[in-house]
């Protein structure tokens, strides 16, 4: 039989793939791999922090997974492995805690944030005040209702609608101008940065020294703004709880705070 | 019996068992995740989610945009496939390669490329924008993204069908005095109908499932650009039951379409 070699060859290939697949995911020898799930708004700060942490802790390799907090929560609920979870609101982390998926004693706030409206530097929509967000035809990008930045944006718009300065129709008029709902704050920032949106509602920490000249910023007064609270905690299924606790101590310690402050976060 | 017919010789038993195991494994591999979706929600939950406006908005938007995309693909793709199958012209190979490009392009790359071309700051989009026309983040952008990623499926299949057709038919029609265009519609098209419909279905299915290019280029907005795959992705981050309902509906629709077309095609080929 001419083709009888196919099955043994396929079997060898499959065995090889299975073997490499099962063993290929090892960390560098002697290093502990610490998996950190972090809200997308922490992308700059945590990338920076992972580097300095690895330098001062040579035995640890930090693996970062950035996404909307709601997406990270779903991943953990569905069994994704994480050592540490850093959320952009308390809602998603506390939901995991209530399901028994977090180490309760490890949970604590580590950063605060506020929101702001950004426009491209060229300001194609000619936006100067928050009232302009309600002007018909404005192309606005915000987060979905589940991603913290979208949830906060809706809270702010509701507060403004309840205030006589903007009036009750304000909230609906602004929401009618939304052209896209992004699942991460980084998605909102990008759409504004490439000039496809007239405005976006993002965190103040998204306006960094590096991208400052690409945007115009319209600040949201404190009476309408919300304080975003960032909690951190160790995942219940973590196999490296001591190392995870060490990382959280660093995050809340002097070096961690300095990096967070550099990226525009307020500190608790 | 099968074994005797297809695998003759002393290895026939071994090969029959091997083929059986392989087919069983493949079927289990494909069926298991689909069953996983169906078992994860109760029928009551499914019905309850059906009253969710998100589900209907996404379903209608998906069916309408994928149908329009497929129609455009057939209208544009059929003549192109015919020309490339029957006529030699300078640069034909380059054109063929370019048509296939979206097949190997990751959809997110396609979406970014479309945004940088048709966005209001883009190469072409900026011209339209000067006339007050926005393309990105509209339903039109959904259709453009779908056409971009799924047109190669149709053209490949259509070209292959045309190439398999014996030129004798055209020559006979020509020698009987039939002009080229009527010949194409009355002689050639009926002969390759099955192949073209098969290609159109592949394109339609690809358009229905399109995610990456759409979310990059058309954005994510309920009722306007949020197609089924985008709605599933968004819902999964908040309401898993709604995400599963949407997935189940998408599977049922896809399955019905494939079944319907297979049934119809059988009619055509037997005729």
Pair B118, B252 in one domain: yes
Domain assignment present for B244: yes
For residue A98, pLDDT beyond 60: yes
Pair A145, A14 in one domain: no
Contact list in B for residue A70 (CB cut-off 8 A) is 237-238
Q: Which residue has the higher pLDDT, B265 or B128?
A: B128
For residue B70, pLDDT beyond 70: yes
Tell me the DSSP string of A126-187: ---SGGGGGSTT--EEEE-SSSHHHHHHHHHHHHHHTSTTT-THHHHHHHHTEEEEESSHHH
pLDDT-derived band of residue A25, with 50, 70 and 90 as boundaries? very low
Q: Is B195 exposed, middle or buried (0-12, 13-18, 19+ CB in 10 A)?
A: buried
The DSSP H or E segment spanning A201 is: strand A199-203
Domain assignment present for B26: yes
Domain assignment present for A224: no
CB–CB of A181 and B234 under 8 A? yes
Range of the domain at B126: 50-270
Domain assignment present for A191: yes
Can you tell me the mean pLDDT for A24-49? 84
Interaxial angle between packed helices B12-40 and B240-270, expressed in degrees from 0 to 180 and rounded to the nearest 10: 130
Q: Which residue has the tokens 């975003």?
A: A228
Pair B1, B100 in one domain: no
CB–CB of A194 and B234 under 8 A? no
For residue B2, pLDDT beyond 50: no
For residue A197, pLDDT beyond 80: yes
Pair A214, A196 in one domain: yes
- Confidence at residue A266, expressed as pLDDT on a 0 to 100 scale: 93
The number of beta carbons lying within 10 Å of the beta carbon of residue A1 is: 13
For residue A24, pLDDT beyond 50: no
Length of chain A: 268
pLDDT-derived band of residue A129, with 50, 70 and 90 as boundaries? very high
Can you tell me the mean pLDDT for B152-160? 96
Instruction: Using DSSP, state whether B149 is helix, strand or coil.
Output: helix
Question: CB-based contacts of A5: which residues, under 8 Å, 6+ apart?
Answer: none
Question: How many structural domains comprise chain A?
Answer: 2
Can you tell me the mean pLDDT for A8-29? 60
Q: What pLDDT digit, counting tens, does each position of B197-227 carry?
A: 989 999 999 999 999 999 999 999 999 999 9
For residue B261, pLDDT beyond 80: no
For residue A254, pLDDT beyond 80: yes
Can you tell me the mean pLDDT for B123-144? 92
Domain assignment present for A3: no
Distance CA B161, CA A9 (A): 34
- Confidence at residue B271, expressed as pLDDT on a 0 to 100 scale: 45
pLDDT-derived band of residue A119, with 50, 70 and 90 as boundaries? very high
pLDDT-derived band of residue A19, with 50, 70 and 90 as boundaries? low
Pair A70, A155 in one domain: no
Q: Name the residue among A1, A183, A196 with its Cβ closest to that of B137.
A: A196
- Confidence at residue B40, expressed as pLDDT on a 0 to 100 scale: 87
For A34, list phi and psi in degrees, rounded to 5. Answer: -110, 115
The interface pTM score, or ipTM, of the predicted complex is 0.76
The DSSP H or E segment spanning B237 is: none
The DSSP H or E segment spanning A63 is: strand A60-67
Pair A205, A143 in one domain: yes
Pair B100, B1 in one domain: no
Q: What pLDDT digit, counting tens, does each position of B170-200 carry?
A: 888 888 888 888 888 988 999 999 899 989 9
* Model confidence, pTM: 0.82
- For residue A202, list its beta bridge partners: A116
Range of the domain at A30: 8-112+229-262
Domain assignment present for A203: yes
pLDDT-derived band of residue B260, with 50, 70 and 90 as boundaries? confident
Pair B118, B160 in one domain: yes
Question: Do the beta carbons of residue B72 and residue B147 sit within 8 Å?
Answer: yes
pLDDT-derived band of residue A20, with 50, 70 and 90 as boundaries? low
Contact list in B for residue A146 (CB cut-off 8 A) is 234, 237-238
Tell me the DSSP string of A182-229: ESSHHHHHHHHHTTSSSEEEEEGGGS-TTTGGGEEEEEPPTTT---EE
Q: Name the residue among A146, A179, A183 with its Cβ closest to that of B137.
A: A179
Pair A215, A234 in one domain: no
- Confidence at residue A60, expressed as pLDDT on a 0 to 100 scale: 94
What is chain B's mean pLDDT, rounded? Answer: 89
- Confidence at residue B268, expressed as pLDDT on a 0 to 100 scale: 58
- Confidence at residue B30, expressed as pLDDT on a 0 to 100 scale: 92
Interface of A with B (CB under 8 A): 1, 4, 7, 68, 70-71, 73-74, 124, 139, 141, 144-147, 178-183, 191, 194-196
For residue A29, pLDDT beyond 80: no
Which residue of chain B has the CA closest to A70?
Answer: B237
Domain assignment present for A2: no
Contact list in B for residue A149 (CB cut-off 8 A) is none
Pair A103, A170 in one domain: no
CB–CB of A194 and B116 under 8 A? yes
- Confidence at residue B121, expressed as pLDDT on a 0 to 100 scale: 86
Pair A103, A119 in one domain: no
Q: Which residue has the tokens 């998204």?
A: A206
Question: Do the beta carbons of residue A216 and residue A125 sit within 8 Å?
Answer: no
Question: How many structural domains comprise chain B?
Answer: 2
């Amino acid at each position: 039989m001419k083709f009888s070699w196919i099955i043994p060859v396929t079997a060898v290939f499959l065995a090889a793939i299975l073997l490499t697949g099962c063993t290929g995911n090892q960390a560098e020898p002697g290093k502990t791999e610490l998996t950190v799930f972090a809200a997308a708004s922490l992308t700059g700060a945590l990338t920076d922090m992972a580097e300095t942490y690895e330098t001062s802790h040579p035995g640890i390799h930090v693996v970062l997974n950035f996404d909307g907090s709601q997406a990270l929560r779903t991943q953990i609920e569905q069994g994704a492995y994480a050592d540490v979870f850093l959320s952009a609101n308390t809602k998603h982390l506390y939901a995991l805690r209530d399901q028994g998926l977090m180490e309760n004693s490890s949970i604590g706030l580590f950063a605060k944030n506020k929101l702001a409206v950004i426009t491209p530097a060229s300001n194609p929509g000619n936006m100067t005040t928050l009232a302009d967000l309600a002007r018909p035809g404005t192309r606005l990008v915000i987060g979905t209702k589940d991603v913290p930045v979208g949830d906060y944006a809706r809270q702010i718009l509701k507060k403004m609608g309840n205030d006589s300065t903007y009036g009750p129709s304000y909230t609906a008029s602004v929401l009618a101008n939304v052209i896209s709902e992004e699942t991460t704050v980084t998605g909102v920032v990008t759409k504004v940065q490439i000039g496809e949106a007239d405005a976006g509602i993002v965190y103040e920490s998204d306006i960094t020294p590096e991208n400052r000249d690409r945007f115009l910023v319209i600040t949201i007064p404190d009476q309408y703004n919300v304080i975003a609270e960032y909690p951190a905690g160790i995942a219940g299924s973590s196999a490296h709880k001591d190392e995870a606790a060490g990382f959280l101590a660093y995050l809340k310690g002097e070096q961690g705070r300095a990096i967070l402050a550099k990226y525009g976060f307020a500190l608790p | 019996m099968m074994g005797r017919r297809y695998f003759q010789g002393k290895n026939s038993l071994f090969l029959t068992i091997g083929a059986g195991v392989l087919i069983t494994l493949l079927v289990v591999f494909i069926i298991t995740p689909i069953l996983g979706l169906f078992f994860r929600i109760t029928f009551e939950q499914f019905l309850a989610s059906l009253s969710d406006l998100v589900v209907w908005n996404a379903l209608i938007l998906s069916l309408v945009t994928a149908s329009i995309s497929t129609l455009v693909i057939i209208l544009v793709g059929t003549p192109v496939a015919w020309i490339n199958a029957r006529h030699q012209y300078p640069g034909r190979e380059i054109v063929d390669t370019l048509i296939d490009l979206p097949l190997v392009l990751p959809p997110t790359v396609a979406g970014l490329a479309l945004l940088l071309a048709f966005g209001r700051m883009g190469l072409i989009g900026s011209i339209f924008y000067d006339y007050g026309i926005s393309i990105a983040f509209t339903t039109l952008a959904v259709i453009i993204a779908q056409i971009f990623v799924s047109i190669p499926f149709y053209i490949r299949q259509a070209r292959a069908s045309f190439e398999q057709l014996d030129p004798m038919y055209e020559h006979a029609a020509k020698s009987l005095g039939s002009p080229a265009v009527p010949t194409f519609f009355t002689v050639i098209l009926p002969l390759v109908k099955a192949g073209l419909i098969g290609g159109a279905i592949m394109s339609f299915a690809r358009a229905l499932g399109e995610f990456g290019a759409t979310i990059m280029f058309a954005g994510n907005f309920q009722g306007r650009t949020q197609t089924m795959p985008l709605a599933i992705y968004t819902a999964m981050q908040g309401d898993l039951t709604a995400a599963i309902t949407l997935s189940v509906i998408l599977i049922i629709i896809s399955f019905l379409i494939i079944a319907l077309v297979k049934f119809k095609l059988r009619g055509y080929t037997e005729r």
